Structure 1
Amino acid sequence: MKETTYEEIVRNLKNRVYAPVYFLMGEEDYYIDRISDYILDTVLTETEKEFNQTVLFGTDTDMAAIINAARRYPMMSEHQVVVVKEAQGLRNLDDLTYYLQKPLLSTILVFCYKHGSLDRRKKIVAEIEKRGVLFESKKLKDSQLPGFISSYLKRKKIEIEPKASEMMAEFIGADLNRMAGELEKLVITLPSGQRRITPEQIERNIGISKDYNNFELRSALIAKDVLKANQIIKYFGENPKNNPLQMTLAVLFNFFSNLMLAYYAPQRNEQGIAAFLGLRSPWQAKDYMAAMQKFSGNKVLQIISAIRNCDAKSKGVGNPSISDEDLLRDLVFFILH
């Protein structure tokens, strides 16, 4: 079995099609946790788990103990499950190669290898791909977060307004475990019978202002709305804990960097720009289309440089005393003029 996607792995697990070894690796914990938890929750019945489910930790065990556990036969069950958490802490991982040459098919052996990936040139990788499932869990790009949010909620038969999705993406960022927790909070707080999440609900339950947030600041800059931009800066200055400058700079840098790329899109329409930037839908390209009418390519380059300079000053480089609010105000003035 070759390396596969998260969706394919879950589909096979739901159909009770199991591999003898799952090696789950990568920088994004969320998918690793979801797959391993699903295996722990569903493969065995509660009665079977007592004798046939083993959870080990890479920092507290070794490959010899793991292989010995994997070679045990299940007791009054079709399968046994052995899950190795924090597998990145294991020594002598290459010793697994000997087990992989003839794995016990009644054992489902799962490795959760976080914050990194195996060198794909190693023999062990080829052996895993030959007899098991190798899955790399990659960090999502910022542009992919609204899609993740929509898909997560769709599985619960709930819709989310595009603006609300953007607000969540920009406020939470690419921490998918935290994002899932906040989305669950929104689902629980939905009024009875309502199946659509709005910006107002996010404002009430997550603590993001629907009118004064990074999404609205970006919109004000695209529209060159000086009054609205300054109102947002003032609000940020009064509520610095919920609106840290670093988060705002990250949002602006991401947008203007993508805008610079958009100038090179073969087709400068919504579909062409969405495809070129890897956006989930043409709707997300509307802001880039509007910004290209307001900012020249040369100005965008200058803005990117100004954002970097602002970031350096916010960290004390060449800046003895300017507040974050004043730094942002100066940056916004430069962008708008």
Structure 2
Amino acid sequence: MKFEEILQQLEKGVFYPIYFLHGEEPYFIDKIAEVVQKLALKEEERGFNETVLYGKDADVVNLIHAAKRYPMGAPRQLIVLREAQLLDKFDLLENYFKSPQPSTVLVICYKYKSLDKRTKAYTALKNQKQALVFESKKLYDNQMAQWIGDYLKSRSLTIEPKAIMMLVEFLGAELEKVVQAADKLIVAMGPGTTHITVDHVARNIGISKEYNPFELQKALIHKDITKSNKIVKAFAANPKDFPVPVVTGVLFSFFSKLLAYYYLQDKSKSSVASALKINPFFVADYQVAARNYKGVKVAEIISLLREYDMKSKGFGNVNTPGGELLQEMVYKILH
């Protein structure tokens, strides 16, 4: 079952005796647990029927006893086990998974990794129709823009493609940070504003409208030497805000896709967008870059990006500051 479908079921008052939430992406796990905790009990039922435990401190035998008891003055009791990946003797839950207490809602938050699917406990969960097993996977970088757009759309907001790219580049793939930034934008804009622009992002998220990796990428696409040098000098003056791996990561993503662009037989806007998994808005950037950089040069640029990313991490470089590395790298890209 998908994340959105689980939330929809909860809103309808449908609860499973077991929610086993595991995987590398903590945001989806925390959100589902939060909604279950909000909706499973009425406020007056919580005192005797809500238990929150933490894996590091919990005893698995006591947890099973707690899960088997009956609710008091309510149709169900709720037990939330957080940080379940730290629970000692987790496999002892196997027998409970085979025969869960129908009046208990047991939410198990097993974060930052997935439970080994070869274990008996996992097999018992998968075979139990009264258990909802959800694996929370990290989003790929090329999925982030779509996810942000959908998240804002669910709140009746739209956003400029360029503004999405700024958020993705600045915040990375940590959904919790992305959601916090999006919610901050919603509050800052206030009622009446339904379209998020680059200006909104720059003002409220602390991303420079003029000096950011996306603007450097744009300057390089157009082979604008003056603007490229201006931006990279700003990066050099603020190395903590613009670390080399962040900049090389953004540029590597673009130039890798540019190399793939050369091999596309159908270079229509819709075909390129589909093949490269990008917003159609950005296809023009690849068309311009393909005119300004030959395929051999693009391959050279990709090699340069790898080289300077490694240098920024201390490989083959002892004393050169990150800012100087960026300036040197950009010079080689442009010449």
**Contact 1:159–1:195 at 8 Å: present in 2 too?**
yes
Which moves more between the two structures, 38-47 or 234-243?
Answer: 234-243
Aligned pair count reads 333
SS of residue paired to 1:22:
strand
Which moves more between the two structures, 244-253 or 21-30?
Answer: 244-253
The residue aligned with 1:37 is 34
- The structural deviation recorded for 1:323 is 2.7
Q: Residues of 2 paired with 1:237 and 1:43: CA distance?
A: 52
Specify the code of the residue in structure 2 equivalent to 1:179: V
Using structure 1 for the length normalisation, give the TM-score: 0.92
Q: Residues of 2 paired with 1:208 and 1:112: CA distance?
A: 33
SS of residue paired to 1:311:
helix
Q: Kindly report the root-mean-square deviation, in angstroms, between the aligned alpha carbons of the 2 structures.
A: 1.9
**Aligned match of 1:49 in 46, 71, 94?**
46
**Contact 1:269–1:289 at 8 Å: present in 2 too?**
no
Q: Residues of 1 paired with 2:319 and 2:60: CA distance?
A: 55
The residue aligned with 1:21 is 18
Which moves more between the two structures, 181-190 or 261-270?
Answer: 261-270
The residue aligned with 2:321 is 323
Q: Residues of 2 paired with 1:112 and 1:186: CA distance?
A: 29
- The structural deviation recorded for 1:263 is 4.2
Q: Residues of 1 paired with 2:156 and 2:149: CA distance?
A: 10
Q: Residues of 2 paired with 1:336 and 1:22: CA distance?
A: 54
Q: Residues of 2 paired with 1:234 and 1:150: CA distance?
A: 32
The one-character-per-residue Cα deviations of 1:229-282 (angstroms, maximum 9, x if unpaired) are 111112212233322222111211222233334445564333333333444x43
After superposition, residues 309-320 of structure 1 pair within 5 angstroms as: 309-320=307-318
Q: Residues of 1 paired with 2:284 and 2:14: CA distance?
A: 43
The residue aligned with 2:297 is 299
The residue aligned with 1:206 is 205
The residue aligned with 1:133 is 132
The residue aligned with 2:75 is 78
SS of residue paired to 1:25:
strand
SS of residue paired to 2:117:
coil
Specify the code of the residue in structure 1 equivalent to 2:151: Y
The residue aligned with 2:148 is 149
The residue aligned with 1:248 is 247
**Contact 1:57–1:87 at 8 Å: present in 2 too?**
yes
The residue aligned with 1:106 is 103
After superposition, residues 263-302 of structure 1 pair within 5 angstroms as: 263-265=262-264, 267-279=266-278, 281-302=279-300
Using structure 2 for the length normalisation, give the TM-score: 0.93
Relative to structure 1, is the Cα distance of residues 26 and 286 closer, same or farther in structure 2, using a 3 angstrom cutoff?
Answer: farther
**Aligned match of 2:94 in 93, 97, 120?**
97
Q: Residues of 1 paired with 2:135 and 2:26: CA distance?
A: 10
SS of residue paired to 1:134:
strand
**Contact 1:266–1:272 at 8 Å: present in 2 too?**
no
Relative to structure 1, is the Cα distance of residues 288 and 138 closer, same or farther in structure 2, using a 3 angstrom cutoff?
Answer: farther
Specify the code of the residue in structure 1 equivalent to 2:94: T
Specify the code of the residue in structure 2 equivalent to 1:89: L
- The structural deviation recorded for 1:285 is 4.1
Specify the code of the residue in structure 2 equivalent to 1:49: R
The one-character-per-residue Cα deviations of 1:59-118 (angstroms, maximum 9, x if unpaired) are 001221221111111111111111100000012222222112111111111111111111
Q: Residues of 2 paired with 1:202 and 1:248: CA distance?
A: 19
- The structural deviation recorded for 1:299 is 2.4
Q: Residues of 2 paired with 1:258 and 1:270: CA distance?
A: 14
Relative to structure 1, is the Cα distance of residues 7 and 262 closer, same or farther in structure 2, using a 3 angstrom cutoff?
Answer: farther
Relative to structure 1, is the Cα distance of residues 195 and 93 closer, same or farther in structure 2, using a 3 angstrom cutoff?
Answer: same
Specify the code of the residue in structure 2 equivalent to 1:58: G
Q: Percent of aligned positions with the same letter in both sequences?
A: 44
Relative to structure 1, is the Cα distance of residues 135 and 260 closer, same or farther in structure 2, using a 3 angstrom cutoff?
Answer: farther
Which moves more between the two structures, 215-224 or 256-265?
Answer: 256-265
- Which ranges of structure 2 fall in alignment gaps of 5 or more residues? none
